[in-house]
Amino acid sequence: MTAPTLGQPVPDFQAPATGDKTVRLADYRGKKLVLYFYPKDNTPGCTQEGIAFRDNLEQFERLNTVILGVSRDSVKMHEGFKCKQAFPFDLLSDQDETLCQLFDVIKMKNMYGKQVRGIERSTFLIDESGVLIKEWRKVPVKTHIADVLAFLQTL
């Protein structure tokens, strides 16, 4: 699969998700999809980002938009994280990095002075017909949800 390009259809994908589901992109035709990639469950920035999506869910729903989170954590880890934070949206497990590679979000990062391979916090907006219409990379957690909502409101 080649990486999605703005203005082009995103290749259909599937991934295991919370709620004992397998999620496919095609399942969301007719709705906009916010696909947000984050490094790790139960870490401060990732928790803050998920809570911000949760707390603004009603606004996203009014804009015909579904939210899905993606990390390399297992479905079991996701279930605990989702329950603890009362996330009303599903989290996708990408342990084999298929989605991470498709969206090119694995980068070398500095962590405690060491270079490590990890997910660069990124969000992708896919329209009702499966076309990539916006991407945000190196996402700043504090302002990100407002940025996504502001863009959605222009559509």
Domains of the chain by range and CATH? Answer: 14-154 (3.40.30.10)
Q: pLDDT (tens digit, 9 = 90+) per residue, 46-59?
A: 999 999 999 999 99
Question: What would the mean pLDDT of 114-136 be, rounded to a whole number?
Answer: 94
Q: pLDDT (tens digit, 9 = 90+) per residue, 3-48?
A: 789 999 999 999 999 999 999 999 999 999 999 999 999 999 999 9
Q: What is the DSSP letter of 10?
A: P
Q: Mean pLDDT score of the chain, rounded to an integer?
A: 94
Q: How confident is the model at residue 109 (pLDDT cuts 50, 70, 90)?
A: confident
Q: Which residues are catalytic?
A: 46
Instruction: Copy the structure tokens of residue 118.
Output: 């990890």
Task: Classify each residue of 17-48 as buried b or exposed e, where b means 16 or more C-beta atoms within 10 Å of its C-beta.
Answer: bbeeeebebeebeeebbbbbbbbebeeeebbe
Instruction: Copy the structure tokens of residue 25.
Output: 């992109």
